[in-house]
Amino acid sequence: MKPGDSLAFAGGALSGNRLRTALILLAMAIGVASVVVLSSLGDAARRYVIGEFSALGAHLVIVLPGRSETTGANPSMFLGETSRDLTIADAMALERLPGVRRIAPINVGATPVSRKGHSRDILLLGSTPDFLGIRGFHMEKGRFLPDTSADQATAVCVIGKKVKRELFGSEPALGEWLRIADRRFRVTGILASEGTSLGQDTDELVIVPVAAAQSIFNTQSLFRILVDVRTQEQVPKVITRVEEAIRQRHQGDLDVTVMTQDAVVGAFNNILNTLTLAVTGIAGISLIVAGVLVMNVMLVAVSQRTAEIGLLKAIGATGAQILRLFLLESALLAILGAALGLAIGYAGNQAIGHWFPKLTMAAPWWSEFGAIVVAVLTGLLFGILPARKAARLDPITSLQRR
């Protein structure tokens, strides 16, 4: 039997029962599409987060209170728990280290801000003038924080555009006063929109001098210190110097974690890659389910087409030929289903990319490849049993049925 004829025969058998074929194609397609979409989604999230971090600037060293035994992200990074406070004095000491271009101590917290009866909760960030340059933010209007010593709690603030709109409306805000927690601050500048960065929307941010933030939050401790190193080559040396300086200042204890941008990015990369794989694996299970459905459909096909199989044997088909024909049928189901699934997956990616433009949806090469391979393998694997059943049918008993 020629390959083209086998294909035509198997294809004809599939189109002979359109509804069942369509349903099984759908099941296979959903499996493949979910693998493609979910892995793309995971990968897009990973690239998005990595991109966010990379926007911070390359030669950044981050100092966190609390010591973690391993490198990478650790709970203290998020919770800010510590054994000994990381203070503004520590930050000022780091600024004097060789190789350090500038630093930005940071305190962050949610707090209410109000003006003339309008009140809302915002994210308050305390830092120093260099923060603007380190984060790459820009001013829309006015000036950023005054260039005074970091431990001076000047009552000035810089506000995001949305905060300005909600508290001042169309009135001018520069030079006006507003109330943050229980203190009054004068607005000296308005931040330009930078979009959302690391979960902070610059439009919804209020920035005050770090010492002012500390007194609002009633703490001596910093959330973290960003250290901008002059060149990439100096980064390892600066890390050592930072650790040494903190150890001296903290009575010989190294109770901070010093990490580089790369370590943070690497940690997130690992986490998100693992997450992508896990989600893809779950989607992959639906492919196995689709495989079982293929088997079910083929078993039904074999018993419905018993007479046909008997006839094929009577007119000279060997068991191997019949096995091949039925395997080809399930393989066709799997391949067509996988192709349909890829198309649906791409369409899904396009749709998600359209609605969430920040996510660049592109399926990682391994997910498309893997989805097709798994689809075809399950189709073939689960096709073996029905095909063997067909090949072993006894022609006489098969032909006795009408």
Partner 1 sequence: MIELAGIRRAYHVGNQDVYALSDVDLTIERGDYVSIMGPSGSGKSTLLNIIGLLDRPDQGAYRLDEQDVTTLTDDQQAGVRQRTMGFVFQFFHLIPRLSAADNIALPLVLAGVPADERRTRVDAVLADMGLSDRAEHRPEELSGGQRQRVAIARAVIMRPSILLADEPTGNLDRHTGEEVVTLLEGLHASGLTLLVVTHDPALGHRAGRQLRMEDGRIISDTQSQPAP
Q: Residues 352, 47: contact at Cβ < 8 Å? A: no
Applying CB under 8 A, the site for partner 1 has a residue count of 26
Can you read off the two tokens belonging to residue 357? 């433009």
CB of 382 to partner 1, least distance (A): 24
Q: Mask: binding to partner 1, 107-126, rule CB under 8 A, as x and -?
A: --------------------
CB of 363 to partner 1, least distance (A): 37
Partners of residue 183 on adjacent β-strands: 180
Using alpha carbons, select from 109, 194, 184 the residue that is nearest to residue 153.
184
CB of 310 to partner 1, least distance (A): 7
Segment contacting partner 1 (CB under 8 A): 5-13, 40-48, 265-273, 357-365? 5-13
Q: Residues 195, 112: contact at Cβ < 8 Å? A: no
What is the spatial distance between Cα 245 and Cα 248, in angstroms, rounded to a whole number? 5
Q: Per CB under 8 A, does 10 bind partner 1?
A: no
Q: Which is nearer to partner 1, 151 or 308 (CB)?
A: 308
Taking the CA atoms of residue 190, residue 195, residue 201 and residue 206 in that order, the dihedral angle to the nearest 10 degrees is -10
Return phi, psi of residue 66, to 5°: 90, 150
Of the candidate residues 215, 308, 339, 343, the single one contacting partner 1 (CB under 8 A): 308
Q: Which is nearer to partner 1, 12 or 281 (CB)?
A: 12
Of the candidate residues 97, 174, 307, 343, the single one contacting partner 1 (CB under 8 A): 307
Q: Which is nearer to partner 1, 271 or 307 (CB)?
A: 307
Q: Residues 100, 94: contact at Cβ < 8 Å? A: yes
Q: Per CB under 8 A, does 312 bind partner 1?
A: yes
Partners of residue 159 on adjacent β-strands: 190, 206
Q: Which is nearer to partner 1, 115 or 324 (CB)?
A: 324
Q: Which is nearer to partner 1, 20 or 162 (CB)?
A: 20
* H or E stretch at 4: helix 3-15
Q: Which of residues 313-342 bind partner 1 (CB under 8 A)?
A: 313-321
Return phi, psi of residue 305, to 5°: -105, 30
Of the candidate residues 311, 339, 362, 385, the single one contacting partner 1 (CB under 8 A): 311
Residue in this structure with the two tokens 């001296």, named with its chain if needed: 248
What is the spatial distance between Cα 213 and Cα 153, in angstroms, rounded to a whole number? 8
Chain residues in the site for partner 1 (CB under 8 A): 1-2, 5, 9, 12-13, 15-16, 307-308, 310-321, 395-396, 399, 402
